[in-house]
Structure 1
Amino acid sequence: MSEKPPFPLAPQSISKRRRNISILLLIGASSLLIRTLMSYNFDKTALLYVGIPFFVSIALLYIIKKPEQPTLNRYYGNLVLWSLIVMLGTSVVLFEGFVCVIMFMPIYFGILLLMYLFQLLTCYLRSKKKGTHYAHILPAVIFLSAFEGVVPSASFEREYSITKELVINATPEEIQQKLIKPMQLDIERNWLLSLFPMPSNIEAGTLSAGDVHHIDFTYHRWFVTNTHKGHMKLELTQVENDYIRTTFLEDTSYIGNYLKLKGTEIRFIKTKNGNTKVALTIYYHRFLDPAWYFGPIQEYAIGQTADMLLNELFVPETA
């Protein structure tokens, strides 16, 4: 005959214990799914960036105890809190860096919000004794969008180019002389660019066609530790008085995980008042899906990079 525990657990304590165990299992399952996607080279597709949040949101809607009348306040706050715990727990298991976590958060919490709204709509329709089949369109669309990038036919345009212009009070010759000088590595940057490492060292030769410039990067994935090093090789493919074309020969930097920099074109256009309009075009290839999320983010980041380079590399001190 088994003995009864001296202090029986209250139903609320049992519920919390089951919830905590379920959360741990969810972290393990999410980590295993992400590791599987990485093993089969699907980690840059929407299966990771849409499919995993979709899976986590469905699981949390079942795990977290629902009040009788769910509202967009305390219950949703609990969902956000536990989803953050799941995301951070998965990141620890997979040794993800802080940049990956920050880039993942908006789409992760956005899908959670959509699924919660779907639940609210379903509850509302049921209370009105109406059919809920129209409400299921939303999760169906999210589910289907998770397969973007899995096959070429389910992908969108990946080749991009961004052009920025700046009128400088200098001649093309003076501007090209500025290009030969070393770039300052401690310049102020846009908030998004500041998440990524600046070059730790730049080895640049002359401004002659065929020269290859070496750019080294050091990235601390956990702010001060888990250090990764990489580099870029940039070739000056064509150099003219009014035109410079460069090609990226190699990129093992952390930026190369998100996109492939292909090259740049720089045009120097003399204006009537003696100034020079510099037009900088950056060509790159987008790796990550979905396009509706990473496309605008990368366009913004590359545009900010082009503005920074124009002001830092092309404006002579005497201008």
Structure 2
Amino acid sequence: MTTPEQPPPKVAWTKRLPALLMVGTAATLAPLAVIKADGLDTAALFVGVPLAIAVLIALAPPAKSLHGLTFRVVTFALLITSAFLHEGAACVLMAAPLVYGVAHFVAELVRQSRIREAGRRYQAALAIFPLLVAGLEGTAYRVDPVQQVGVERVVALSTAEVETRLAQGPDFSAERPFLLRFTGYPTPTAATGGGLAVGTRWTFTLAGDPIVTEVVAHDRRRIAFTVVSDQSKTQRWLRWKGGTIRLTPRPDGTTTVKLSVEFTRRLDPSWYFGPIESAMVGAGLTHFADSLGLQEDPTADD
């Protein structure tokens, strides 16, 4: 007869108390690591982060597979990188799916090479070369680094009224789109300037830093801006080139307004970060249109 398996003995909560205290301490200090006091890196960065990671490593169950080990190592690496990059942590979060995907793809190639016959191991090994070529983008070559994003709306205003609204400048108290709120992507919070005459400059404050633009062209149908200087945090991801506002009067007295901006992407590969940056900038441009009071006219005909 076989004896029934006995349930594992319960561990008294007092024996778990040290581990719980360690986890609680790590969870408290880790978020503080990215907070600066008077512009200085706090001790939470150099003590709290190592403590949090050490606790997680010590208490985590042993990895039972190559993929489990890969996931753990990549996760810890991303945590460390995010803490030290501060404002660039958003970039790390955007890149996380790509990093995990590449790491697990390589882990699977290694696993397959171990279980296959010797003659077929080379086939699995050769699959890594496309990754090597893709990894050279941004160093040996670039693919379409200059991108353009636009937003078009039909507003219940004449072209003259739209120009008056534009000359007053944006009011950034409008609620940001969900994508921007969810990701924490920075957008302008204030604007100073006045008018739309050629040579007029507008300064936009983004995350405490200025972006200075200048009107370089203005007629009845088109207003063009160029970026004179940019000290914003978005330089980690892109460099603004300029923008255009086109006004097209409609027979019913409304106006079609198209806002477009051009920027140079600073993140590669293009097939991954290109769509992401287009989506983020598109959401930011939608918020900018809302801030200018350019609301879509629900009664406008298509």
Both proteins in one fold, TM over 0.5? yes
In structure 2, the partner of 1:225 is: none
Per-residue deviation at 1:230?
2.0
Aligned AA for 2:157? A
In structure 1, the partner of 2:261 is: 282
Mapped pair 1:208 → 2:188: no
Mapped pair 1:122 → 2:113: yes
After the TM superposition, which residues 26-105 of structure 1 pair with which residues of structure 2 at under 5 Å, given as runs? 70=65, 76-92=67-83, 97-105=88-96
Does the CA contact (< 8 Å) of 1:175 and 1:316 recur in 2? no
In structure 2, the partner of 1:132 is: 121
Per-residue deviation at 1:105?
1.2
Q: CA RMSD in A?
A: 2.7
Mapped pair 1:263 → 2:252: no
Out of 290, 295, 300, the position equivalent to 2:279 is 300
Does the CA contact (< 8 Å) of 2:188 and 2:205 recur in 1? yes
Aligned AA for 2:176? R
CA deviations 1:154-191 (Å, max 9, x no partner) are 22121222232111111111112222334232332234
- TM-score between the two structures when normalised by the length of structure 1: 0.66
- TM-score between the two structures when normalised by the length of structure 2: 0.69
Cα distance change of structure 1 residues 130 and 318 upon mapping to structure 2, 3 Å threshold: closer
The separation in 1 between residues aligned to 2:188 and 2:239, in whole angstroms, is 17
| Worse-matched range after superposition: 183-192 or 140-149 | 183-192
Cα distance change of structure 1 residues 140 and 96 upon mapping to structure 2, 3 Å threshold: farther
Mapped pair 1:251 → 2:230: yes
CA deviations 1:111-153 (Å, max 9, x no partner) are 1121122234324434xx76121112332221232111213xx
In structure 2, the partner of 1:146 is: 135
**Which runs of 5 or more residues in structure 1 are unaligned?**
1-63, 219-228
Per-residue deviation at 1:95?
5.5
Mapped pair 1:178 → 2:165: yes
The separation in 1 between residues aligned to 2:136 and 2:125, in whole angstroms, is 18
In structure 2, the partner of 1:193 is: 180
Per-residue deviation at 1:269?
0.7
Per-residue deviation at 1:317?
11
Per-residue deviation at 1:231?
0.9
SS at match of 2:116: helix
Q: Which runs of 4 or more aligned residues in structure 1 lie more than 3 Å from their structure 2 counterparts after TM superposition? A: 64-67, 90-97, 316-319
The separation in 2 between residues aligned to 1:107 and 1:130, in whole angstroms, is 31
SS at match of 1:261: strand
Aligned pairs, number: 236
In structure 2, the partner of 1:155 is: 142
Aligned AA for 2:159? P
Identity of aligned residues (%): 23
Cα distance change of structure 1 residues 80 and 186 upon mapping to structure 2, 3 Å threshold: farther
Does the CA contact (< 8 Å) of 1:125 and 1:132 recur in 2? yes
SS at match of 2:144: coil
**Which runs of 5 or more residues in structure 2 are unaligned?**
1-60
The separation in 1 between residues aligned to 2:275 and 2:296, in whole angstroms, is 33
Aligned AA for 1:169? A
